Amino acid sequence: MRPLILAANWKMHLGPAGAAAFLREFLAGYHPASNREVWFFVPSVSVAAAAAALRDATAVRVGVQNVYWEPKGAFTGETSVPMAVEAGASAALVGHSERRHVFGETDAETGLKVRALLAADVIPVLCVGETLAERERDQTLSVVRRQLAVLDGLDRAALARLVIAYEPVWAIGTGRNATPADAAQVHAAIRTHLGTLGAAGDHVPILYGGSVKPGNAAELIGESEIDGLLVGGASLDPASWLAIVGARSD
């Protein structure tokens, strides 16, 4: 049984003090549920503060939004995996659409990051998804398969430790989102592709991200192929985030 993962991506918001204040308010209204986990991907400067605030919380995990694949060295501005772990992170986003399309991160670089995280026993959340132009050219599945190709060569045990997030670029921060059925179709294709790589596709959680809000969270997680949500803007308000975390598909 795959857990339901509700993951917040705070992007470049909430420094240490803001993170601590947010999490105090969140914890005041948070009610853990069985087989449901809440993950926070926070700015690297806020990882230690978030980890401290959530130290005693149940079914909660702290992650970073990006890492570099070398463990140390002359890489000004980067955060290594060991540094992220020392600060309290146990997961990391890899290949988020903003990293790809704003900062030019390549598929090859996402592959290096995935391997560095796995080597340190940190969960990589590999983000995949197509642009609007690619979707209109009916290239969604070919783009997603190309982005998943960075997993080629990983053994079954490594693949089983992954989380995948499908985030159509055209739906991120635009107010538009794929319908639950549209998202589920892509999720099913991803699961099938993972099987061709040797993964036990049925065991890999696949999240959906893209203009998720309290009003559509329950419908999205109601699809059997959607194992959770990766949420941006709506995760920055404690009340909104609590509504999403508590969303019920039934």
DSSP string, 53-120: HTTT-SSEEEEES--BSSSSSS-TT--BHHHHHHHT--EEEES-HHHHHTS---HHHHHHHHHHHHHT
Q: Find the helix packing angle between 214-221 and 180-197, rounded to 10°.
A: 50
Encoded amino acid at 119, one letter: A
Backbone angles phi, psi at 207, to 5 degrees: -95, 160
List active site positions.
96, 167
